[in-house]
Amino acid sequence: MSTPRRVVLITGAARRIGAVIARRLHADGYDLALHYRGSAADLRSLVGELEAARAGSTLTLQADLAVFDRLPELVAKTVGHYGRLDALVNNASAFYPTPAGRATPVQWEELFGVNARAPFFLAQAAAPHLRAAGGAIVNIADIYADKPRADLAVYAASKAALLAVSRGLAVSLAPEVRVNAVSPGAILWPDGGIDDDVQAGLLAQTPLGRIGDPGDIAGTVAWLLGDAASYVTGQVIRVDGGRGIG
């Protein structure tokens, strides 16, 4: 039996920006299918918080997005549990330095597999359900897709591919399904930290002169999924403090 609430599948939902997106959409009334790969403890904590607010509103799904067969399975389990799917947020990402001259084919395959291939094939699997719901997709890209950093050559290329995927899906799935992308700037520093000079340089390139907040991304995602953006598709929304200017 289908839930009366809208349902969203969020990849990489256990922590960082993904968890903030999950909290925001849950507060907006969505039921959630929350994908994670290895951050089980973080996801348990998040689910406990959300279930305390509204029982029966979450489904947890573990998968390595680099394994192709797991992609349609995530969609099938979501629809099997809730009876519907209204939105897909492709947030999960692989990220590490890949400077030209030292990058390997294995790194290329991993970064493109998670950052571009998985979002495309998740969208393909979700498309029939999203069409039935008049739903939407938001892909989380990166400012580096347009303004690459020297040590992130392959990562930047994979996120640029995700922008192309987003535009292609917007054309392919129209008019029933809207597809957009969000490109964050300096929102959260990497888990392993960041060189002080690099951090200062990034902020110096940011007209607003400060780091952003994960809630900035979550709010943009919520807007793109909602009725207020019903005539918006194929767009890339930069949430970067102005860093993409010029």
**Separation between Cα atoms, residue 218 and residue 173, nearest integer Å:** 23
Sign of the torsion formed by the C-alpha atoms of 11, 219, 58 and 172? negative
CA–chain centroid gap for 24, Å, is: 14
Other C-beta atoms closer than 10 Å to the C-beta of 223 total 16
Helix axes 16-27, 40-53, angle to 10 degrees: 10
Q: Which of 30, 36, 144, 155 is catalytic?
A: 155
**Separation between Cα atoms, residue 74 and residue 188, nearest integer Å:** 27
Bridging pattern class, strands 31-36 and 58-62: parallel
**Separation between Cα atoms, residue 56 and residue 30, nearest integer Å:** 11
Q: Are 22 and 225 in contact (CB under 8 A)?
A: no
> What's the token pair of residue 172?
């392919």
Nearest to 202, CA basis, from 215, 192, 212, 191:
212
Catalytic (active site) residue 231: no
Q: 53: part of which helix (H) or strand (E)?
A: helix 40-53
**Separation between Cα atoms, residue 153 and residue 150, nearest integer Å:** 6
Catalytic residue positions, numbered:
155
